[in-house]
């Protein structure tokens, strides 16, 4: 039972007298497939990681936030959650669910002074991304990124820090793209401006 496992983590924080007022949910993996060829069992596993793990963790820690009348929940989604992709349907659907969950939590628990926002990374220069993408793919992708670079992990960390701080005290339910403007211009952009 996942909830029971997570309650052990929660109980440990209570034993140590920790108050978790900032919860960052960051988990996910994707697989390339179209709808017809999608492995349903793999999709269920992906949804369990990309969305349900977030749901479990939030459920466990939300009670404590409600009791303390304070909390900031930051969910890591993906730019793929709002921009359809020809080969990552399952991942996009899972992360779109994260966006919906973010906004529903924001609305339901605002009265308890709990804020919930999501950060949507674009192409980030992590070790995993660089190892799994060819130079040709990266070059082609960056033609559609107005800032014309891959993001750095620090770009995501800074967005999370903003949502966790008092600087965003009047912001909740927001879906923040941290993607260098990817998806913003028309499809012609990459063929003309970024030649």
Give yes or no: 182 in active site.
no
Give the pLDDT of residue 92: 84
Q: What average pLDDT does range 95-107 have in this prediction?
A: 95
Least confident window among 27-36, 85-94, 103-112? 27-36
- Predicted confidence at residue 192, as pLDDT, reads 75
180 — pLDDT class (breaks 50, 70, 90): very high
Q: Which pair of tokens denotes residue 139?
A: 């070059």
What pLDDT sits at residue 2? 64
Question: Would you state the pLDDT for residue 1?
Answer: 60
Structure tokens, 181: 């403007």
Which residue is listed with tokens 């994707």? 30
Instruction: Answer for the pair 25, 59: CB distance below 8 angstroms, yes or no.
Output: no
Phi, psi of 84 (to 5 degrees): -60, 150
Query: So what's the pLDDT on residue 13?
Result: 75
Q: Model confidence over 47-81: pLDDT tens digits?
A: 777 777 888 889 888 988 998 899 999 999 999 99
In three-state secondary structure terms, 33 is strand
The listed range with the strongest mean pLDDT (25-39, 62-76, 98-112) is: 98-112
Q: Give the per-residue pLDDT at 173.
A: 98
Tell me the pLDDT band of 32, cut-offs 50, 70 and 90. low
Active-site residue, from 10, 56, 91, 182: 91
pTM for the whole structure: 0.88
Residue 50, phi then psi, degrees to nearest 5: -70, -35
């Amino acid at each position: 039972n996942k909830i029971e496992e997570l309650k052990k983590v929660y109980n440990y924080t209570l034993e140590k007298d920790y108050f978790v007022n900032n919860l960052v949910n960051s988990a996910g993996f994707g697989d390339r497939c179209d709808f017809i060829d999608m492995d349903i069992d793999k999709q269920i596993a992906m949804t369990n990681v990309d969305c349900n793990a977030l749901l479990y963790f939030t459920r466990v820690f939300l009670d404590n936030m409600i009791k303390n009348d304070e909390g900031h929940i930051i969910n890591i989604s993906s730019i793929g959650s709002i921009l359809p992709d020809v080969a990552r349907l399952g991942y996009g659907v899972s992360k779109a669910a994260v966006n919906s969950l973010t906004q529903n939590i924001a609305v339901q628990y605002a009265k308890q002074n709990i804020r919930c926002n999501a950060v949507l990374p674009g192409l980030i220069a992590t070790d995993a991304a660089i190892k799994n993408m060819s130079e040709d793919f990266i070059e082609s992708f960056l033609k559609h990124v107005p800032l014309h670079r891959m993001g750095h992990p620090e770009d995501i960390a800074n967005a999370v820090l903003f949502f966790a701080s008092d600087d965003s005290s009047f912001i909740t339910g927001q879906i923040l793209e941290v993607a260098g403007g990817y998806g913003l211009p028309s499809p012609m952009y990459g063929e003309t401006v970024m030649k």
